[in-house]
Structure 1
Amino acid sequence: MEVVAMGGRRSGMPVILLALVAVGALAVAACTREVEVEKVVQQTVVVERQVAQTVVVVHTATAVPATATPLPKPKAPVNFVVGMPSDITSTNIWNIYGPASTTWNVKVFSHNYGSLYRESDQRFDLVPLIAAGGFPELKQEGDKWTATVPIQKGIKWSDGTELTAADVAFTGTTALELKLPGNWASQYPAAVLDKVEAVDASTVKFTFSKKPGLAQWQYGAAGAAIVQKKFWEPVVANAKKEADLEKQRAALFTAKNDGEPVLGPLIFKKWEKGAFVETTKNPGYAWAGSTSKNYSGGGVEETTSRGTIKTGATTGDVTLNVKRGPNAESVTFNIYGTQDAAVLALRGGNIDYYLSPLGLSAGLRAQLAGKPGIGSFQNASNGFRYISFNMRRAPLDDVAFRQAVALLIDKNFITQDILQRTAESVETIVPVGNEFWHNAKVKTWGVGLTREQRIKEVVTLLKANGYTWDKEPAWNKDDRKVDVGSGLKKNGVAVRNLELLAPSAGYDPLRATAALFIEQWLKEVGIPITANLTGFNVIVDRVFTNQDFDIQMLGWGLGNYPEYLNSFFAADRMGKGDNNAGGYNNPAYQKLLQEFLAETDLAKAQVQAHKLQDMLAEDLPYITLFSVPIIEFYRPDKVKFPYTNVLDGVQSKTHSITGIFATAEFN
């Protein structure tokens, strides 16, 4: 999707570029639908050891000047105007981290929800956010394992209520009891997490049925989103009155959240559907005026009004020093129906920053590149566009059929010729930029083959697996084209007409174009298929909410740790609203996946992740297509970002409670 994955996001991708999703920290390091590719700076930084934390609180008396100095003239209130090519679909965080995890929903709202730990700016170290120190030692209590986490005192919600361990326990308990899908299932993994409870107001305890692995603790529950118990408890209680879990979840996902207290830098004010979303500054933002310093020694130093927490070796040079505001009195998200309209708005000075992980066509890039008053920066993407199959339906449940489709798709032709080198081919689920986890040796399909060779291999493969034609396709050497096949059958039964759902050209011309070529290539060998170019949110609803599709083309924005190998493909994530919408269920994959999730040794987890990628490359529940570099355009006379060099771009930091909406500066 343009989805977000905590393990991944849905982006035009569940962030569907959008799966796991890093809330103030990690909450969206999961996934989003639509290609929201999330974080990692050319390398993967994983905290696998315990690091001592030092908390220092300094109170300094303020000297009174001998003579009064003139006060500087106050600046006019700043409204940061952000442009997006698509609308949101929900303001409800339970829904946004569940079936509605589109990249646009996540970008507009996820930064308002904290987590115990977060990923540091630019480098992605795991550091405390709400926790009072580093990761606690996991302790065995009988046949259970526990982690007890002290939390900082003095962090307040926007209504002035102090955050307590009861908020953490309530959020986790709700996710577990209602068996919430999507990113919630990754953040609070029911397979291993038994309960979350408040020991006292400032201590929360997690109890696991077995020793949790990295994906389940450090990159799972420790980075999970937290909501306010006071606001949501009566809403959840009302939802639980419904007859069954499905109806209870539906009631929670559709509940009104007007006036909801948040922790982040912005407070939601108004949503005018199809036009804009208005937010205002949170005057009680608990990280206002705080700083975060990255050191060359590998450590991170966080200083807030509550004290200083040092993680790792805070030695050597300071490589990044971020100071948080927020510095804008309000942020308005203007919604444009197409990329063309958003580009025009940026050129006209109507927006300050164009927020999108989709990438632009060569023509749209040319309209912005080098234009007076418009700046840009480019980063590698941590996501991909893909097609997936509904394996509950024939012939999509047949691995030979899926392999034939993979052979027919010429990714190099799409990226180099059709998309004019604005995209790069992707061969596996874990992007190249995530070097530690990426498997560069997976099986590939059709790489380097001519069209003639592809046709011959596909015919051979399908015939060997029970497929026949009334008219068999063949390569015509004289005309240098395919003599189109027709009447395709599997074991004597005609293959029905299939539908390929893909975003429209106005939303994403890159995928729309690719979809039309894929339709053509499949038709050449007699596969009856029609590309249906439609609205992004329409696709998300059909695929993830209703599972009513044959083949779909969306994108994912990903997290650093590849938990999405679970959330996209686990057998227990096949329900409606969850991320395994295609229903992939290979017992061998599921067995190895459980070992990966429980693994606490980083080197062993890497080997397991590589093997999982090998299995996916053979089974092909997804065919990864391409990714686009994240090129971001903005008006440097209006806005300044604390850094621009980061995997997946500045846009990936819109999810974080301490991200760009808290740190951007304005002229």
Structure 2
Amino acid sequence: MSDNQTDSGRRRFMKGTGVAAVSLGLAGCSGGGDEGTETTSEGTTSEGTETTESTPTEAGSAEDIEEGGIFNFGMGQPPNNINPIASSSAYSGVITDRIYESGAAIDPVNFEMHPNVFTDWTSEEMDETGDDDQPNVRLLFNVRTDGLTWNDGTEFTAEQVVWSYNYLLEQMPGAYVASLNAIDEVSMSDESDWDCEMILNSPVGTFAFDQFGIPILPKHKWEGVSDFSTYQPYENDGPVGLGPGVVTQYQPDTSIEVSFAEREGEYNLASLPWREEVNGIIAGGPFIDAMRISVYSSESALTQAFLEGEIDSLYDNIRTSSIDEVENTDGVELVDGFDTGYSHVSFNLRRTPLDDLPFRQVLGFAFDDVYWVQQLQRGYAQKGDFVMPPGYTAVRPETSNNAELLTAPATNAFDFRQGDSPGAVDVDGVRSFLTEGQMITGEGGTYAGFDYPGSLTGVTASQTEPKHEYTFGPVESSVLRQSDADPDQEIRVDGETITSINDGPLTMFVDPPQDSPQMAKMTENWVSMLQQIGIPVEQQVLSFNTALTRVYSEENFDMFEMGWVNLSPFATNTLYGLFHSDNADDHSVAEGDDEENNTSTSLNNPMGYGLFEDATADDLISTARTSLDTEARNAAAREAVEKIYLDFPTMVTMYNVVKWPVNSAEWDGFLGDIPGPGSTYLGVQMLQVHQAGSGSE
């Protein structure tokens, strides 16, 4: 089982409950081992990452399972393509993760790393040095070729693994830059006991999760592809991979079918011995003939299709407004899980005044967390704070001093500043925060009426003093003059209005209201609060795929709402991929006559965080990424997470309380009490779901 089967290592954009989201990471299930750690086909490697305690659903026996049937699945967005290295869409991943595999696998219960396409591996430091004078690391690994072929029946060899890595190193697709940057070379090994070797330019404590989590591409399909971004696998008798499925129908706007029964050749990865040892996992699948995916025009239509029995399940989560109805419907149930990402609003730090920390922090003061979580989400969400979800406790700052998860005062620095009446923002307090030159840097104090005890890990914000001077004067901008918020003053930045500086108000990209009705109400509320303060903001409705291009390819935005899923429980690859300057476009290199110094590669850090000395956690992220000691790595990760929180390039708005709806009358084998049961670990579900009444204990 690779990340292709669990989705756990790949960061992806997706639409989640109330907001569009993205899936972060690698297309294959990967995992990490400490230096010198060696695994075998029966072994595991644990990263020591603590997670929220849970008891996974008990598994039945595979011996009596009746195979067959088509599992009908629904999505509220179409895949933008099924090229595994050109798309970061979670909806594309629903298909491609059934097709492609990677070297190592992570299980969703213990977060231990297991062999997958690679049967075993070891690592050793070398005398040569690479990045920042750190020692190069040699990884030696063997490749599983017995019992495994490409899904078109073509023979699979270790040489093809080497070719695949070198092709990706040549192409450097943006979705995998975070992992590929650490690789110097991959070749066949001269060691008699090993098939292949990989040279890393610095130690990476989570190499099995990161470098071994990259999808393996077939040479016989990709060898002549000079530009990966334009390649369409389905138009070239594909996609072809090592996974259990084949795409037999592809009409992306309406329906897609992934067949397991029609796969050619051999596939034994679902029967590896370690799978039988993990609580809740059923080895030996897939047990269904096919997964039939229907695409619906909106989240409302998707939910209705499930309630009416048109589909057996849907991607990620049920809308909070429909939970009660599902609970009262016969023959269906909700599978519990916890979030593997977060919903967020993020800011373009290249633009004034979003380049200034106190202004960004004020945006958080105007976001009514109680209205969002308790009223709109009906309590089926947790208030957001850090860029690591609460299930990944080892890499959250509270762990540094045993503070209360999610409720410690240091996690509430940017909570809503309520005025004299419920639901009203403290306009005077927020304005004073700006005009008095205040900012929350990690030191204890009272800010806009709230006491803040100081940072949990001891870190401080990158910026030490305001970049701009803020004043308030007469309302001039048309967006504020016409606003129902009726502000009495408008902000000035160094004496100028924002509309004068930027040729218009700040623009917030939002989903179509029919796609995310709860987020539409929240954004309307938030914009109204900002306008009351005197900040000119307007909304612009964009489709999900259009927003992906504007934000992640062009970096042409002020603020946008979206979300991440499939974050790494080990944090390092997530932090590097989303918040390190290596993965942000500094707009210094033009590609083509009309690119305006903007690379065409989609990078996962569109905010530009890390490009500026007064907004960066690069050093902490690099320390965490290169540490081979688990405790030291987690400690550095916690500091990086809190520094990002204080620097506020992104505002984490919530974590989902996951309720995944399934047709339990006709299907069984679902695994609950794990992260992302219907998203991150959807691949696990598809390997073990089976017709109800068979294989149960």
Give the TM-score, by structure 1 length. 0.80
Alignment match, 2:96: 109
Q: Secondary structure at the match of 1:514?
A: helix
Say whether residues 1:662 and 2:620 are aligned partners: no
1:219 counterpart SS class: helix
Counterpart mapping for 1:232-631 below 5 A:
232-235=222-225, 239=226, 248=227, 250-252=229-231, 256-281=235-260, 282-284=262-264, 286-288=266-268, 290-291=270-271, 301-302=274-275, 319-357=279-317, 359-362=318-321, 364-440=322-398, 442=410, 444-447=412-415, 449-452=417-420, 454-463=426-435, 464=437, 465-471=468-474, 484-496=487-499, 497-557=505-565, 558-562=567-571, 563-575=573-585, 576-585=601-610, 586-587=612-613, 589-631=617-659
What is the CA deviation profile of residues 101-149 of structure 1, one whole-angstrom value per residue up to 9, with x for unaligned ones?
111111221232111110024322100001122x313242544421110
**What number of residue pairs does the alignment pair up?**
577
Partner of 1:649: 677
Judging changes above 3 Å, is the alpha-carbon distance between structure 1 residues 325 and 487 closer, same or farther for their aligned structure 2 residues? same
Asked if 2 retains the 8 angstrom alpha-carbon contact of 1:347 and 1:368, the reply is: yes
CA contact (8 A) 2:150 2:241 kept: yes
Please tell me the residue identity of whatever aligns with 2:393. Answer: E
User: In the TM superposition, what is the alpha-carbon distance from 1:404 to its structure 2 partner?
Assistant: 0.9
Change beyond 3 A, Cα 1:125–1:105? same
The one-letter amino acid paired with 1:138 is E
Deviations 1:165-216 (A, max 9, x none): 222222222222223212x11332x1x3111123389712101223x2224x
CA positional deviation for 1:432: 1.0
Q: Which residue of 1 aligns with 2:14?
A: 11
Distance in 2, Cα, partners of 1:153 & 1:423: 44
Q: 1 CA distance for matches of 2:492 and 2:108?
A: 54
1:637 maps to which residue? 665
Offset at residue 644 of structure 1 (A): 1.9
Structure 2 residue 201 is matched with structure 1 residue 209: yes
- The alpha carbon displacement at 1:292 in A equals 5.5
**1:512-564, Cα deviation, whole Å (9 max, x unpaired):** 22211111111111111112233222211211122111100000002222121
The Cα of 1:412 is off from its aligned counterpart by 2.2
Aligned in 2, Cα 1:52/1:24: closer, same or farther, shift over 3 Å? closer
| One-letter code aligned to 2:546 | V
Distance 1:466 1:256, change over 3 A: farther
* 8 Å contact from structure 1 (residues 288, 326) kept in 2: no
Contact 1:18–1:102 (Cα < 8 Å) also in 2: yes
How far apart are the structure 2 equivalents of 1:253 and 1:455?
Answer: 52
Residues in 1 aligned to 2:311 and 2:411: alpha-carbon distance in whole angstroms: 44
Return the offset for 1:321. 4.5
What residue identity is the alignment partner of 1:171? S
AA matched with 2:257? E
Residue 653 of structure 1 deviates from its aligned partner by 1.5
Separation (CA, whole Å) in 1 of partners of 2:265 and 2:75 = 25
- Check conservation: 1:343, 1:368, Cα contact below 8 A: no
8 Å CA contact retained: 1:489, 1:495:
yes
Kept in 2, the 8 Å contact 1:46–1:125? The answer is no
| CA shift digits 1:58-115 (9 cap, x unpaired) | xxxxxxxxxxxxxxx997951211011111110111212xxxx111111221232111
Q: Displacement of 1:347 after TM fit?
A: 2.2
Using the alignment, how far apart are the partners of 2:583 and 2:39 within structure 1? 36
Give the one of 165, 174, 199 matched to 2:158: 165
Of the candidates 206, 211, 226, which is equivalent to residue 216 of structure 2? Answer: 226
Alpha-carbon distance in 2 for matches of 1:598, 1:356: 32
Q: In structure 1, what is the Cα distance between the partners aligned to 2:91 and 2:265?
A: 23
Q: Distance in 2 between matches of 1:620 and 1:378?
A: 31
Could you say if the C-alpha distance between residues 170 and 20 of structure 1 is closer, same or farther in structure 2, counting changes exceeding 3 Å? farther
The alignment's TM-score, normalised by the length of structure 2, stands at 0.77
Seen in structure 2, the aligned counterparts of structure 1 residues 120 and 435 have a Cα distance that, compared at 3 Å, is: same
Aligned residues: CA RMSD? 3.0
What is the match of residue 70 of structure 1?
none
Amino acid aligned to 1:552: F
Three-state SS of the structure 2 residue aligned to 1:93 is: coil
Deviation at 1:287, TM superposition (A): 4.0
**Structure 2 Cα separation of the partners of residues 79 and 649 of structure 1:** 19
2:134 aligned with 1:147? no
CA contact (8 A) 1:265 1:661 kept: no
For the 8 Å contact 2:39–2:115, the answer to whether it is kept is no
Alpha carbons of 1:614 and 1:454: their partners in 2 closer, same or farther (altered >3 Å)?
farther
The separation in 2 between residues aligned to 1:596 and 1:76, in whole angstroms, is 45
Q: How far apart, in 1, do the equivalents of 2:234 and 2:256 lie?
A: 19
